[in-house]
Amino acid sequence: MEIPYAAQTLFPLIWPVIAVVGALIRTRKNPSPRARLEIWQRWWAVAALGCGSLWMVFAFLGAPGVMADVIGFARSPFQFEIAFANLGLAVMGFRAASSSATPRERITIGLGAGMFLWGALIGHVYQWFANGDHAPGNTGGVLVCDLLFPAMVIIFARRAQRLAAAGQPALV
């Protein structure tokens, strides 16, 4: 069974969509800006960074041949390393979702995730233009996710720092 190119390239976007929909549903009746922001941070950390990265662990370990085809590369031991790098991202995402995670810790998690994912983004774009790699796992949704997963963790955490500095009441 052949999965259409558009479905393959857009699939990674399921994780930020889940995060946005979950956060919108949970915040619709909450009047506190700080509480709404906390909900957004947790949904983004769990659904996008945590579950999105955990999915990559299972995909690279469970179906390395399929993943090699999807990203347009030859199968290699490097995929095992990518799986475990994603496991580290998943653990960081789940930690960032903790109620005890501070904004500073979340910024650090976002920066750590960014070092890997933004590097991957540069690599995908390079392969796209230098080698004509238009495989669904090298272009499209993966580019958006590589950019947004860490960026949004950092943006939400910075916003939480600003709200705290502005004297917003503490969360209960």
Question: In the chain, where are the structural domains located?
Answer: 7-165
**What pTM does this model have?**
0.92
Structure tokens at 73: 């590369």
In angstroms, rounded to a whole number, what is the distance separating the alpha carbons of residues 115 and 118? 6
In angstroms, rounded to a whole number, what is the distance separating the alpha carbons of residues 130 and 104? 38
Buried b (16+ CB within 10 A) or exposed e, 133-153: bebbbbbbbbbebbebbbebb
* pLDDT tens digits, one per residue of 147-156: 999 999 999 9
* pLDDT tens digits, one per residue of 2-17: 778 999 999 999 999 9
In angstroms, rounded to a whole number, what is the distance separating the alpha carbons of residues 155 and 71? 29
CB 154 within 8 A of CB 109: no
* 169 — pLDDT class (breaks 50, 70, 90): low
CB 62 within 8 A of CB 98: no
* pLDDT tens digits, one per residue of 47-87: 999 999 999 999 999 999 999 999 999 999 999 999 999 99
Given this model, what pLDDT does residue 31 score? 84
In angstroms, rounded to a whole number, what is the distance separating the alpha carbons of residues 19 and 89? 16
